[in-house]
Structure 1
Amino acid sequence: MLQKKSIRTLITFILIFILVYLIYLSRFIFQPVGAYLAAIAVPIIGSGIIYYITSPIVNWLSRKKVPRFIGTMIVFLLIIAVITLVVLFIAPIVQRQFSNFVDSVPKMVKSAQDLFELWQQNQNIIPPQFESALQNVLDNISGYAEKITTGIISAIGQIFSFVFSIVLIPFFLYFMLMDGYKLVPFVSRFLTPKKADSFKTLTANINHTLSSFIQGQFFVSLCVGIMLYIGYVIIKLDYSLSLALFGLVMNFIPFIGPFLSAIPAIIVGFFQEPMMAVWATVVMVIAQQIESNLISPNIMGRALSIHPLTVITLILAAGGIAGFLGLLFIIPAYAVVKTIISHFYQEWKERQPEKDPDLL
């Protein structure tokens, strides 16, 4: 029996490999589909994220007998209010801090060169290779700073190139909030009762996985951003709001996000005052300890059930393949794929004889 099962399993994997290879050979057929999906990716992903954040409000209002249309309009009014507050109060401060930071880059470069020269004068023995390498970095640091600034400006330009796609997000979001709950019953009408039940279970599990990640990560990152801002204001760190917002965004990347957000805060604090870098590190450590030990367990719990080593591996792979966007979306994508595979594997096990339920 074991031998027959192993042979069946081997044949299954071979057939899957052949299917994947045939799809690869005929990939030109899917190019129009890929172009279409790329064109609508921004509004679908953007509206999907906002949908999972705001849908609990609409669902709660529906349970309170509030018409779904009115609940959707209330959500849109709340979104408009948040955007208005950001534009009126937060955006001007961030813009001013960013301009001041760009203006202070030459001073930071000069301070780094002076610090190196002072250290060089007080050292009797410096390895020639280390000295030449460090001197080369200092000679080109101005160019590096200019490239970084140019890259930031270029990224801002690319963001504005998505304006048309972003304009479509409210329309996608409106129909998701109004009619999203109708999709599963509509598709189930074309399936047999048994397959319809399986489809409803699968979509419910996927919906739970995505909502757990997006809602949890949003609220956790928001809490971290607020804690960082309060801490930076207390220690009087320059560009506190901009650095806190950067920490908020980076916290969407599991594990490595907090470390990435700490780098600019420590650098800015060091050039402001060397001791300030220590205080910025203390603020970051305190915020992350509160987040990992108090906030995340209560908000997110273990909804995704993904081992930390798996998360690190996925992040490393996604960063190398798809860059920053890969870092943001690899965890929910993996969780969805894992949910789908687990669902069909469980159904497959239920169809097997009681004495022989395992795959191998």
Structure 2
Amino acid sequence: MTNKLWFQTGIGILLAMLIIFMFQQIHDVFNPLIIIAKTIFLPLLIGGVLFYLTRPLLHFLEAKKLPRWASITFVLVVVAAVFWLIYAMIAPVIGEQAGSLAKNTPQMIDEGEKWVDYLLSHRDDLPPQAQESVESAITNVSNNLNDWTVGFGSWLLTFLQNFFQALFLLILAPFFLVYMLKDHEKFAPFVAGFFNGERRTWIRKTLHDLDVTLRSYIQGQLLVSFLVGVMLLIGYLIIDLNYALLLALFGMMTNVIPFLGPYLAVVPAMFIALLQEPQMALYVAIIMLVAQQIESNFISPNVMGKALDVHPLTVITVILAAGNIAGIWGVILAIPFYGVVKTILSNLYQKRTEIREAAGKEID
């Protein structure tokens, strides 16, 4: 019975749960390590993303017989130039649109209040159930308005604190990038050096597969998000939507979140469109629909291919679970983390199958 897969799997799950339970009992011992991990998480993440984006350029330069240090220096110059160019081109427009949005916010709130007043003045024309829903919503808003105001102020203060803290930590990102570009070939041999024989070969193959999975996802997802942002910008400019660049950039950033991103991106665009001109909301919905259809049917299949090969239902389940566990970072990192776990399990299953086949041939 001990050789059965279900028995070994059950024992493995029980041991994992026991280890997690023991960690929870002595979690105070690991608090310093947790603080260190939280401190380096963001710069390490950004450095890793930049590493996968710039590594092809590094390999191209080295193929042209450029030394490693000169290639890394050139890569850093290119990265800095790209960020500066993006800032120089986009920052003035974003600043202007953000200032205009802040200036017009009171007017937009007044327009929203007019819609609410209109709804209230005609609520007697609504069905009884709709009337009850409207009155219940008004009561909830009135009762919770002060709490929401205090909560928003607290959230804003926390956001600003985290923002400036993250801005400070971003200084560490280039250092992580430099060392990743310099020593990335040494990682797999270093880890595999703790093993011998076939295990060393399996470790190196698994690490290579993990590298391919992360590279395909990061490079593909960022390129897809950029193309979606461009399509949204073109569409918003065609219909002359206010704050087009700001909304397109928001759509590009939210598209990093699989499945949920498009729905998050369309909310502020629909709100702006409704206040600008009600029928424009329909145009925004059409633009978002067309952009997502092009992305899902043409761009992603050609850019991403089958890098992760995850079923849409699995994507939804993983994102919702990760969001409840780790918040926004869980939502963003859920799919690549799932891809990493899937790659490891696939290699474990393949290795186990090879062992069982080899054992069967010896018996024969």
Normalised TM-score (structure 2): 0.88
Distance 1:5 1:84, change over 3 A: closer
Q: Give SS of 1:209's match.
A: helix
Distance in 2, matches of 1:48 and 1:156, equals 25
| Residue 258, structure 1, aligned to residue 280, structure 2 | no
Structure 1 residues 5 and 173, CA gap change in structure 2 (3 angstroms): closer
Structure 1 pair 212/287, CA: closer, same or farther in 2 (3 Å)? same
Name whichever of 242-251 and 70-79 sits farther off: 70-79
* Aligned counterpart, 1:106: 106
User: Does 117-126 or 221-230 show the bigger shift?
Assistant: 117-126
Partner of 2:313: 309
Question: For 1:147 and 1:17, how far apart are their aligned partners in 2?
Answer: 37
Per the alignment, residue 200 of structure 2 pairs with 196
Matched, 1:290 2:294: yes
What is the identity, as a one-letter code, of the residue corresponding to 2:38?
A
Displacement of 1:307 in angstroms is: 1.3
Structure 1 counterpart of 2:219, one-letter code: Q
The answer (yes or no) to whether the contact 1:270–1:277 under 8 Å persists in 2 is yes
Q: Which sits farther off after the overlay, 105-114 or 244-253? A: 105-114
What is the distance in 1 between the residues matched to 2:99 and 2:153?
11
AA of the residue aligned to 1:132: E
Distance between the aligned counterparts of 1:340 and 1:6, measured in 2? 18
Residues 1:182 and 2:186 aligned together? yes
Matches of 1:145 and 1:258, distance apart in 2: 28
SS at match of 1:220: helix
Distance across 2 between alignment mates of 1:150 and 1:11: 46
Deviates more, 1:91-100 or 1:183-192: 183-192
The alpha carbon displacement at 1:196 in A equals: 2.0
Q: Shift of the alpha carbon at 1:264?
A: 0.4
Displacement of 1:184 after TM fit? Answer: 1.7
Deviation at 1:16, TM superposition (A): 3.8
Aligned length: 357
Q: Secondary structure at the match of 1:232?
A: helix
Larger mean Cα displacement after TM superposition, 285-294 or 124-133: 124-133
2:116 aligned residue: 116
Q: What TM-score does the superposition give when structure 1 sets the normalisation length?
A: 0.89
Which residue is 2:342 aligned to?
Answer: 338
Whole-Å separation in 2 of the counterparts to 1:328 and 1:261: 15
Counterpart among 136, 152, 167 of residue 133 in structure 1: 136
Specify every segment of 5 or more residues in structure 1 that has no aligned partner in the other structure, as ranges.
Answer: none
Q: CA deviation at 1:32?
A: 2.5
Task: Please say which of residues 109-118 and 269-278 is displaced more in the overlay.
Answer: 109-118
Give the structure 2 partner of residue 227 of structure 1.
231
- The farther-off stretch of 176-185 and 264-273 is 176-185
* Cα shift readout 1:287-320 (whole Å, capped 9, x = no counterpart): 1111111110000011102111111011111212
Q: Report deviation, 1:176.
A: 0.7
Q: Using the TM superposition, give the Cα deviation of residue 277 of structure 1 relative to its aligned residue in structure 2, in angstroms.
A: 1.0
When structure 1 is superposed on structure 2, of 270-279 and 193-202 the one drifting more is: 193-202
Which residue does 2:70 correspond to in 1?
A: 70
**Aligned pairs for 1:1-360 within 5 A:** 6-122=6-122, 124-126=124-126, 127=128, 128-136=131-139, 151=155, 154-352=158-356
RMSD: 2.8
Rounded to whole Å, the distance in 2 between the matches of 1:286 and 1:199 is 44
Structure 2 unaligned runs (5+)?
A: none
In structure 1, C-alpha distance between the alignment counterparts of 2:96 and 2:228, rounded to whole Å: 23
Deviation at 1:336, TM superposition (A): 0.7
Q: Shift in Å at residue 46 of structure 1?
A: 1.1
Residue pair 1:106, 1:142 contacting (<8 A) in 2 also: no
- Deviation of the 1:339 alpha carbon: 1.2
